Amino acid sequence: MLERNHIQTSGFSNIGPEGNRTGFRVRLRQPNYRGTRVSLLEGIDVTVDGERYPSQENRFLIDGREYGHADLDTLIDVRWPVGTTVDVLIDKPGGLEPGVHLVETVVLYRHPYFPPQFRPVPVPDSRHATIVL
Amino acid sequence: MSGSFKYGVSLYSYTDDFGTVMGLEDAFYHVAEASATGIEILGEAHVEGYPEPSSAWLDRWFSLVEKYRLEPTNYACWIDTDIQKRRDIGVEEAAAQLTLDLNLAKRLGFKFIRPKFGVIDDELTPHPVWEGATERVLDLAAKLDISIIPEIHAPTPIRHPVVEAYIDFIQRTGTRHFGLLIDTGIFQDRPLPSWQHETPEMRELRSGAMSFLDGIKVPVEQLAEVIDYTPFIQAKFHHIDEDLHDHNIPWEKVVPMLKSLGYTGYLSSEYEGVRDPWVAIEQVRRQHALIRKLEREYDQQHAAPAAVEA
């Protein structure tokens, strides 16, 4: 079972060897009530301690494969099921300091059954989450 | 006394609990414990491995259906019409999606599928591929004996071109495997304090495109105009308090109207309210207690008078 927040604290971690971190990951559970094909996902913006990491610069680990922001629109047969996670991979030399951070995310969803003026709809979440090391 | 309602629960009710504090068997347990007989699912939420569940998952599904003695009722699916930012699907792709979901629904034992087509305006007019795509799969639906039932959902009222187009379709094709799913949210007559999908931008439009969140107040009498085409009802609701008082949906009008029209299909709970853990479980039980009470009262008032003893 995953945590209630969209943002998971388990999985929030630095990338790269200790002493030579290259970035960090933010793990999100599927925030929608149904699983969705990834082409309906128009991006995931991340902010940590006030610093913004826009979707265009992020990479995404979906079902074991890594994709760039521009790939999302092409993934009509890759799905993000309910009860599973996607990792947003963010470049940041040195990574994040171990400790508690304020993490904010906005998942942009295009719901074809929403009126056109509400596509995409931003789905926000925020919480404190901890980098252990 | 004519027939009675059948009571079901859509697992949509347990959104956010499912996958965080509730697994599939827990969901079956809570539906069965509410004395419901029918279970409704969303294919692309509750079928692990959708659209190709493993045989292990299928075995588990059937064992749960048997253990909890629940009848699979309606299977919800989506026709993602604007599948990419700059590309809408055509009739063929839409028909392929419907075919996939019809076959999977049949495999799992469902009697209905509810396709949610993408829309083209604020009144939820479905994307024009709906008609051609649906017509292409009517023979398959007949072969599988599954009815395709798009939903009439706020802000679309009963008297609306969307409903007329569906009824025209039924009359033109003569199909017995297409109908309407009425979502009881259309009868909402008091505002929702908040809505889970509502953004600040939407909130500013409460007087415009989002005014339906205040309730579109379709008169329940209008059910008479569509009941012959309505084999399934989603009992949408948002909050029922400790006195079994629903704050938004006028069940005291909806239930007698459905009874007087002789409706004996499912009322399948769709709780769409506060998403704190486990709240939905209690809300669904309150709704069933409330509707069952209203149904009993109607039956008592309309029972044949007892023979007077001499």
Could you report the per-residue pLDDT of A5-15, keeping only the tens digit for each? Answer: 999 999 999 99
Q: Round the average pLDDT of chain B to a whole number and report it.
A: 95
Checking if the pLDDT of B1 tops 50, the result is no
Contact B274/A at CB under 8 A: no
Mean pLDDT value of segment A92-114: 98
CB B8 within 8 A of CB B261: no
Residue A33 and residue B119: Cβ atoms within 8 Å? Answer: no
CA distance B113 to chain A (A): 15
What pLDDT, on the 0 to 100 scale, is given for residue B201?
A: 77
Q: What is the DSSP letter of A98?
A: S
Evaluate whether residue A85 is within a structural domain: yes
Mean pLDDT value of segment B151-167: 97
Q: Distance between alpha carbon B176 and the CA centroid of its chain, in Å?
A: 19
Catalytic residue among B46, B153, B177, B239: B153
Contact B83/A at CB under 8 A: yes
SS3 A96: coil
What pLDDT, on the 0 to 100 scale, is given for residue B308?
A: 61
Which chain B residue shows the shortest CA-CA distance from A84? B19
Q: pLDDT for B9-34, tens place per residue? A: 999 999 999 999 999 999 999 999 99
Q: Round the average pLDDT of chain A to a whole number and report it.
A: 97
Residues of chain A contacting B16 with CB distance shorter than 8 Å: 4, 33
Domain count of the fold of chain A? 1
SS3 A89: strand
Domain count of the fold of chain B? 1
Evaluate whether residue A74 is within a structural domain: yes
Confidence of residue B194 (pLDDT cuts 50, 70, 90): confident
Domain with A41, as residue range(s), is: 7-131
Evaluate whether residue A104 is within a structural domain: yes
Checking if the pLDDT of B205 tops 90, the result is no
Checking if the pLDDT of B304 tops 80, the result is no
SS3 A8: strand
Q: What is the DSSP letter of A55?
A: G
Which chain B residue shows the shortest CA-CA distance from A31? B16
Residues of chain A contacting B122 with CB distance shorter than 8 Å: 115, 117
Mean pLDDT value of segment B275-298: 98
* Domain harbouring B77, CATH code: 3.20.20.150
CA distance A16 to A91: 10
Inter-chain contacts counted by CB atoms under 8 A, chains A and B: 91
CA distance B224 to B260: 9
Evaluate whether residue A2 is within a structural domain: no
Would you call B100 exposed, middle or buried from its count of C-beta atoms within 10 A (0-12, 13-18, 19+)?
A: middle
Domain with B43, as residue range(s), is: 6-301
CA distance B168 to chain A (A): 22
What pLDDT, on the 0 to 100 scale, is given for residue B184?
A: 98
What pLDDT, on the 0 to 100 scale, is given for residue B203?
A: 75
Which chain A residue shows the shortest CA-CA distance from B46? A82
CA distance B167 to B165: 5
Could you tell me what percent of chain B has a pLDDT over 90? 89
B302 is catalytic: no
Contact B84/A at CB under 8 A: yes
Which chain B residue shows the shortest CA-CA distance from A72? B84
Contact B164/A at CB under 8 A: no
What pLDDT, on the 0 to 100 scale, is given for residue B221?
A: 98
Evaluate whether residue A1 is within a structural domain: no
Checking if the pLDDT of B197 tops 80, the result is no
CA distance A23 to chain B (A): 28
CA distance A57 to chain B (A): 19
CB B79 within 8 A of CB B133: yes
Would you call B222 exposed, middle or buried from its count of C-beta atoms within 10 A (0-12, 13-18, 19+)?
A: middle
Residue B83 and residue A29: Cβ atoms within 8 Å? Answer: no
Q: Which residue has the tokens 């799905």?
A: A79
Residues of chain A contacting B277 with CB distance shorter than 8 Å: 4
CB B269 within 8 A of CB B287: yes
Residues of chain A contacting B46 with CB distance shorter than 8 Å: 82
From the CB of residue B14, how many other CB atoms can be counted at a distance below 10 Å?
27
CB B265 within 8 A of CB B230: yes
Confidence of residue B309 (pLDDT cuts 50, 70, 90): low
What do you get for the CA distance between the two ends of chain A, in Å?
A: 24
Of B18, B84, B124, the CB nearest to A83: B18
Q: pLDDT for B238-265, tens place per residue? A: 999 999 999 999 999 999 999 999 999 9
Contact B237/A at CB under 8 A: no
Evaluate whether residue B1 is within a structural domain: no
Confidence of residue B168 (pLDDT cuts 50, 70, 90): very high
Q: pLDDT for B66-117, tens place per residue? A: 999 999 999 999 999 999 999 999 999 999 999 999 999 999 999 999 999 9
What pLDDT, on the 0 to 100 scale, is given for residue B2?
A: 56
The question of ipTM being above 0.90 is answered as: yes
Checking if the pLDDT of B62 tops 90, the result is yes
What pLDDT, on the 0 to 100 scale, is given for residue B24?
A: 98
